[in-house]
Amino acid sequence: MRWLVDGYNVIRRSPELASEERVSLEAGRQALCRLLARAAQSSGDEFTAVFDGSGAGSATSGGAGVRVLFSSARERADQVLARLAVQGGAVVSNDREVRRAGERAGAISISTDDFLARVALAPPMVTGTETMEKDEEDEPPRRTKKGNPRRLSKKDRAASRALNRLGPGGRRQ
């Protein structure tokens, strides 16, 4: 499977990667590439990290199974991700526009938090014994659904299958 990763978005959502980025942008990018290389090694998947701005070149290798792309001066990384999503795979970002563009192109959309949880860099998650309670007012009104009420949506099942390729752990849906 092909993973398209919004580089700076993922770095800034992980405390460990963000601390590396505070040293330098290059250190943050290298830390992300190491993380992606470990995920590529365990899953056999191909990862492409896309960053804004010009780096050492327009495309470099971030390790085995990891490709690093930098957007040109004329386009943003979001546009590069949308263009690459047409070829299929999974788009990893918390940017709503990037995720929607990926879905429109036919790619699977994965949130950065779910991705980091699966590759074991997420902040501590709420355990099964602790539950967060919501007010009924906070929930949007539900549409009447047909079919099995316990079955995840087609989009959520595709995202779950993609995350399961990265190995055990993370949140179960």
Domain ranges of the chain: 2-123+141-164
Res 110: pLDDT: 93
pLDDT digits (tens, 9 = 90+) for 33-70: 999 998 888 888 999 999 988 654 545 666 778 999 99
Res 138: pLDDT: 62
Res 136: pLDDT: 53
Sheet containing 46-51, strands listed edge to edge, beginning at the edge strand earlier in sequence = 59-63, 66-70, 46-51, 2-6, 90-92, 108-110
Q: How confident is the model at residue 23 (pLDDT cuts 50, 70, 90)?
A: very high
pLDDT digits (tens, 9 = 90+) for 122-172: 444 444 444 445 555 566 666 776 778 788 888 999 988 998 888 765 544
2-123+141-164 classified as CATH 3.40.50: yes
Cα 115 to Cα 112: distance, rounded to the nearest angstrom: 5
Note the pTM of the prediction, 2 decimals.
Answer: 0.71
| Structure tokens given for 56 | 């050492």
Res 122: pLDDT: 40
Mean pLDDT along residues 79-85: 90
Mean pLDDT along residues 7-18: 92
Contact status, residue 80 vs residue 49, Cβ threshold 8 Å: no
The residue ranking higher by pLDDT, 172 or 11, is 11
pLDDT digits (tens, 9 = 90+) for 83-126: 999 998 999 999 999 999 999 999 999 999 999 998 865 444 44
| Max Cα–Cα distance, the chain, nearest Å | 53
Res 6: pLDDT: 93
